[in-house]
Structure 1
Amino acid sequence: MGRGRERAHDSGSSVTAHRANSYVAIGDSFTEGLNDPAADNASYRGWADRLAEILAANDPELHYANLAVRGKLLDQVIGDQLPAALALRPSLVSLVAGGNDILRPGNDPDLLAERFDAAVAELRAHGAQVLIGTGFDTRQVPVMRHVRGRVGTYNSHLWAIAERHECRVIDLWSMRVLQDPRAWSTDRLHLSPEGHRRVALRAAETLGLEVDEDWRRSWPPQPERPWHVQLTEDLRWVREHLAPWIGRRLRGRSSGDGRSPKRPELQRL
């Protein structure tokens, strides 16, 4: 990507914005990186950090910022993170948001998509290449499986938005490797480190980058667990994860309340 202001090309080519070689990630807990601990165990790594590492391997001059904060709704991402991302004048922005909205009853995926579309249009108007992600296929995820139809509707809109604005799409719905329980952490709502790693590889592939590993690689065989072990794990999950999550919803609180982005400024890795 060259320096300076250039005309945006189609989705099959690089797009240079006001600042070359820069990537800003915005979104919620998925992009913040829960539950993929960083090396210092003081924060999270996640698929976006891993993608930035792949980008930096191809371009050591890459500057990267991650403005995502767990628990944020789409309007919060658009209202707080989008202006901050635009102020950094990046050449690439990833925007994955709306999942927390869909988990809450009463949120219309058609209306969510309209607001998402406006955000993408603004990013593209500023010359940024935009990478978006679909929702996961939640058929095997407790609690989330009942919103599968709404996720599918939202995804259909996201594909249309991507075509309209010439964006790249990480098709999370079609990643069958994420149907394995090992792709998810113990809370069953966030990916495991291996799940994040595979999403990063898929994102890199979506951007046309060469990677050494295949995100499609099958998981190694795993012995079947006795039913009583599964039951014990289910009960522990309800007590340690589901109940606190429901409690926060009832109190109108979010796990991201009072939190700041982990990487608010563009910096070299």
Structure 2
Amino acid sequence: MQMNATYTSLVAVGDSFTEGMSDVLPDGSYRGWADLLALRLASRTPGFRYANLAVRGKLIGQIVDEQSGPAAAMGADLVTLVGGLNDTLRPKCDVELVCARLEEAVERLAPSCEQLVMMRSPLRRGPFATRFQPRMERLFSFVDELAAKHGAVVVDLLGADVLGDPRMWADDRLHLNAEGHRRVAEAVWQALGLDAETDWTRTLPPFVPPKWVARRGSDARFAREHLAPWIGRRLAGRSSGDGRSGAHFDPVSGQAVPVILKPPADG
């Protein structure tokens, strides 16, 4: 494992978590931890190349079939792979099959790069996560096994209490907000052996629950704007990622097209 190395290129592979939902920019697009990490690495290395192939809603089989090949072909120094959690949230899930497909991705990506990064994904505290916890625990234990076998770095986001805090999550209750993504970028940065800039595990001030009326209003808005559309897509067999391709990916040629990042101008 190359720690504290100078990386010249990064490819990010995965689903909505890596795409950047819901770190929303003023123009409505998403940024997210992978973009933040790439920008920080680019500030150290002129001509840094970056491609984010992640697409919201993708299951592990789609990640393997659609993203791992183009990502491996790029020969990047650094590759991040996060996937399988969407599968575990489906009513019917063969978690052993999910693990097998994840292993396919790792076996394709690990030899193609100098450093592969995997994660134990963060979960918002609450009954929803508890319901699917056994599946998630199996997936995350297998992530550890794969990392040990292939020399990958594992970033343990699940073990950080602060990332379970509801205040780190967007209104949809499924994706991190801007502060959550910022902390994930710092966590990966430190896992690569780079000098810490902030304490990404720092807890938030004590939580003051909103009043009953505010909670009920928030729950109603969540059900209307996020839960109902999600259920509708499931019933229709559709995904939020249908028809989408990853940033810096040419769907016509089927090839990843990296961009060269320049450090942001001072000020």
Same fold (TM over 0.5): yes
Task: Give the aligned partner of residue 59 of structure 2.
Answer: 73
Between the aligned partners of 2:222 and 2:109, the Cα distance in structure 1 is 39
- Equivalent-residue separation in structure 1 for 2:75 and 2:189 (angstroms): 21
Structure 2 equivalent of residue 33 of structure 1: 20
Q: 1: CA distance between counterparts of 2:81 and 2:118?
A: 5
| 1:69-118 C-alpha deviation (Å, 9 max, x unpaired) | 10111111110111111222211110001111111122122221121112
| Corresponding residue of 1:205 | 190
Code of the residue aligned with 1:80 in structure 2: it is E
Match in the other structure for 1:233: 218
Residues 222, 252 of structure 1: CA spacing in aligned structure 2 closer, same or farther, 3 A cutoff? same
2:14 touches 2:81 (CA, 8 Å); kept in 1? Answer: yes
1:58 aligns with 2:54: no
1:261, distance to aligned residue in structure 2 (A): 1.3
Give the fraction of aligned pairs with identical amino acids, expressed as a percent: 45
2:117 to 126, 131, 138: 131
Change in CA separation of 1:250 and 1:119 when aligned onto 2, cut-off 3 Å: same
Maintained 8 Å contact 2:69/2:108:
no
Q: Does 1:22 align with 2:9?
A: yes
Secondary structure, in 3 states, of the residue corresponding to 1:34? coil
Shift of 1:171: 0.8
> 97, 103, 118: which is aligned to 1:117?
103
C-alpha displacement at 1:42, in angstroms?
Answer: 4.0
* C-alpha separation in 2, matches of 1:13 and 1:46: 23
1:64 & 1:153 partners in 2: Cα distance?
31
Distance 2:127 2:54 in 1: 24
What CA deviation, in whole Å up to 9, does each residue of 1:4-42 have, x standing for no partner? Answer: xxxxxxx254789xxx7110001000000001123x524
Instruction: Quote the offset at 1:60 in angstroms.
Output: 2.9
Q: 1:91 to 1:244 in 2, by over 3 A?
A: same
> Runs of 5+ in structure 2 lacking a partner?
250-256, 262-267
Q: Secondary structure at the match of 2:258?
A: strand
Looking at structure 2, the residues matched to 223 and 144 of structure 1 have their Cα atoms a distance apart, in angstroms, of 22
Aligned CA distance change for structure 1 residues 225 and 127 (closer, same or farther; 3 Å)? closer
Question: Structure 1: 5+ residue runs without aligned partners?
Answer: 1-10
Q: Report the count of equivalent residues.
A: 254
Q: Is the 8 A contact 2:51 2:258 kept in 1?
A: yes
Q: Could you tell me the TM-score, scaled by structure 2's length?
A: 0.89
1:191 to partner: Cα distance: 0.4
Q: Which amino acid is the alignment partner of residue 150 of structure 2?
A: H
Change (3 A) 1:166 1:91: same
In structure 1, C-alpha distance between the alignment counterparts of 2:68 and 2:62, rounded to whole Å: 9
Contact 1:15–1:91 (CA<8 Å) still a contact in 2? no
Assess, with a 3 A threshold, how the Cα gap between structure 1 residues 13 and 222 changes in structure 2: closer, same or farther: closer
Deviates more, 1:68-77 or 1:123-132: 123-132
- Cα displacement (A) at 1:59: 2.0
Task: Choose from 115, 136, 148 the match for 1:163.
Answer: 148
| 8 Å contact from structure 2 (residues 13, 81) kept in 1 | yes
